[in-house]
Structures are given as structure tokens and as C-alpha cells.
Amino acid sequence: MFTRHNPASLVELLEALYDLEQPRTSWFRGVLKAAGAAFDRGAGVGMMLYDISGDSPRVDAMDGVNVEARNFEMGAALHQEPSFSKAIVASYRTMVCATMAEHVPDPQMLEFMRERYAEVGLKDQLVINGANNHTGLGCVVYIFSPSPIHLPEHERTLLCRVAAHLAAAYRLQRRLEYPIGDHVSPVDAVVAVDGHVEHAELVANSDLILRDLSNAVKAREWAKTPRGRRNPQRATALWKPLVSARWSLVDSYERSGRRYITARENTPVPAGFAALSPRERQVGSLAEDGHSNKLIAYELGLAHSTVRVLLARAAVKMGAHTRAELVLQLRAQRSSLERNSLDQ
């Protein structure tokens, strides 16, 4: 297992991700350090903030721990190579957690990478991708390996959860640093670590939401206990990126000897399709990005059955008979919207 030597490090990575009251450069370094402690297999860990909102990928930040300089040079060259741009953008849009062979569909690009990696004694890499495809902005972690990586399904599930947190935390980090219009992320509730809701704005002030917020805070706090840190599978299952598909729990602070957690608005903003409800657009957008129903439920903090119902409703409204048809129609509409935007 990737975290078997230091299982507590995975919870420490989640803590670093939601330590958002600091400049982006400091946040980036803190997350990278925690990722290195959690995942380094002896060949280093890299991290990148990227932008695929245009035709070519753009690297906004790139660094690593225990990574050879030639690795960075190769990574930068790869992202700047025009012949690979389309494949790289497609990969970031659809992958969540993948080995090199899984996430590089272009044979020429895969051969290029294998040759360059062999020069520095590497044979594989694992990519954990936190994508926000509605904006094109994402946060990705690369785990480099001197041997081929075999990823059992239970480990893939765990690392897909990490990818969901990467996406949610980076999305909120940007909204807190650059609040613009509807993307401002207000504090809608303040919850004590024992689950007692001290304050809730009207939007979060219903019995069901208050219960969900209380339970989510208690689950988060359990994950941070010694018992939770020893069990990363259960800790990540309980500590979800969103509560009620809307709020992320961040910004712990103390007052009069008590610790508090704030619930901040962090809803993904999928492309708008008039026939679908906001929640149907959310689950449809994540399905379009290649996420399984199980992962969508985890990302949004919803029941698995709720995700199935929402996708079924979306399919009926879109005239699709299967999940695959729904995904194809959503992708076609997104492409059409993007083309229209470029033409205007």
C-alpha cells in the first residue's frame, strides 16, 4: 500500500489541503511536503497546478520533493510540445487516478515518456488528478517509481478520494484568494468540533443540513484521532470533500479554549444545461469527466442511491437511454458551448 509505512500521513495530507488561510505559494509547498511524506516510493513526488481552459495545457506551478532536475525538465518540455497538447488536455480532463500506461493513450507520447524516464532510472508513475473541468484548473500529484506500479482496487479507491480532495481544496483556495462575483465562498456555518452548530446562515439553517454538518465535523475529527490516522481507508471514507454537495469544512480556529470548524460554500460550477436542475448538472458533469457513481457520491457527500436517481433523471431529460449515452450528450453540449464561446 502506498501509505503502509506511514498511514497517518494521508490524513496529514488532507489537513494540509484545507489549510487555506495562507498565500497560494505557502499552501502549495505545504501540500507538496505532505504528499511527499505520504507517497514517496524512493523516486520522489511531484505536484503541479495546471490550466487546460485553452487549446494547450499551461503550467501555473510545478515542484517536487526528492525529484531529479531532469524529471522537471522533461515534464516542462512535455507540456510545451505542441504535438502532445491535445492528448495532455484530454488526459487531464478524464483521468482521476492512473498509472503511466493508463493515462497516456497516445502511443508516441507514451514511448517518449518511457524513454525519458528510463534515463533517470524510472519505469512508471502514478497520477492523482484533482480536476475542475468547468474552469479547466486542476491540481495533480505525480508519484514516480523505479518499478512498474500495480494498483489494487482498494488502493485505487483510496487515491481517487485523495483526487477528489485535491480538486475541492484547490477550487476553494482559488475562490478565497481571488473572490469574484458568484465564486465568493462565504462562511455559512460555524460548528464546534463536538458537532454542535454554533451559527448557521439562512441557506444552511434547516434541520437536515444542520444534522449533515454536525455529522461531517464529527467524522472529520474522528479521522484526525490516532485511531483514524492508523486507518486511512476509513478516515478518507468519512472525511468527504463536500457536505450536502455544497460546503467544504475548513478554517479551524480557537475561541475561549474551544475549537471550531467553518463551512464554506464550495459548489462545483458545471456547464449549464437548461433542462437539468443544478444538482443534476453537478452529477452529470462529474459523470462526463469519467467519475464512477461511487466516486461522485463521495465527492459531493451524497448517498450512492441519490446519485443514481439524479443521473437517471438527467438521462430522461436529455433523451438518453443509458449512462454512456448521457455522457456522450453532455460532452457534445459542452463542446458546442465552448465553440460558441470562441466564436463570440
Question: Mean pLDDT over residues 45-73, rounded?
Answer: 89
Q: Of all helices (H) and strands (E), which one includes residue 126?
A: strand 124-132
Q: Which three cell numbers stand for residue 85?
A: 497538447
Q: Give the pLDDT confidence score for residue 179 in this predicted structure.
A: 59
Query: Which of 160-164, 217-221, 313-317 is least confident?
Result: 313-317
Residue range 211-227: average pLDDT? 97
pLDDT for residue 181:
46
**Is the pLDDT confidence value at 184 over 70?**
no
Element (H, E) at 177: helix 153-177
Question: Per CATH, the architecture of 278-343 is what?
Answer: Orthogonal Bundle (1.10)
Helix axes 293-300, 304-318, angle to 10 degrees: 110
- The predicted pLDDT at position 275 comes to 73
Residue-wise pLDDT tens digits, 13-43: 999 999 998 999 999 999 999 999 999 988 9
Torsion angle, CA of 20/303/138/124, rounded to 10 degrees? 110
Average pLDDT over residues 168-184: 77
pLDDT confidence of 200, banded at 50, 70, 90? Answer: very high
Question: Which pLDDT value is given to residue 11?
Answer: 96
In three-state secondary structure terms, 128 is: strand
Are 138 and 92 spatial neighbours (Cβ–Cβ below 8 Å)? Answer: yes
- Reported as a single tens digit per residue, the pLDDT across 63-121 is 999 998 887 787 788 888 888 888 888 889 889 999 998 988 778 888 888 888 888 88
Where do the domains of the chain lie? 8-177, 185-265, 278-343
pTM reported for the whole predicted model: 0.87
- pLDDT tens string 112-154: 888 888 888 889 999 999 999 888 899 999 999 999 999 999 9
Least confident of 98-107, 238-247, 268-277: 268-277
Residue 339: band (very low, low, confident or very high) from pLDDT cuts 50, 70, 90 = low
Query: What pLDDT was estimated at residue 182?
Result: 46
| Closest-CA residue to 199 (of 261, 143, 153) | 261
Q: Residue 35 and residue 321: Cα distance in Å, rounded?
A: 41
The answer as to CATH 3.30.450.40 being correct for domain 8-177 is yes
pLDDT of residue 342: 47
CA 316 – CA 62 distance, rounded (Å): 43
Residue 247 and residue 213 in contact, taking contact as beta carbons nearer than 8 Å: yes
Mean predicted lDDT score pLDDT of the chain: 88
Q: Higher model confidence: residue 340 or residue 19?
A: 19
Note the pLDDT tens digit of each residue in 280-331: 989 998 998 889 999 999 999 999 999 999 999 888 888 788 899 888 888 8
Q: Which three cell numbers stand for residue 84?
A: 502532445
- Per-residue pLDDT band at 242 (split at 50, 70, 90): very high
Residue 270 has pLDDT above 70, yes or no: no
- Paired sense of beta strands 258-265 and 45-51, if any: unpaired
The amino acid present at 119, given as its one-letter code, is E
As a whole number of angstroms, the distance between CA 288 and CA 285 comes to 5
Q: Which pLDDT score is estimated for 14?
A: 97
CA–CA distance, 262 with 197 (Å, rounded to integer): 10
One fold for both 8-177 and 278-343? no
Contacts of 85 (CB under 8 A, 6+ apart): 55, 56, 57
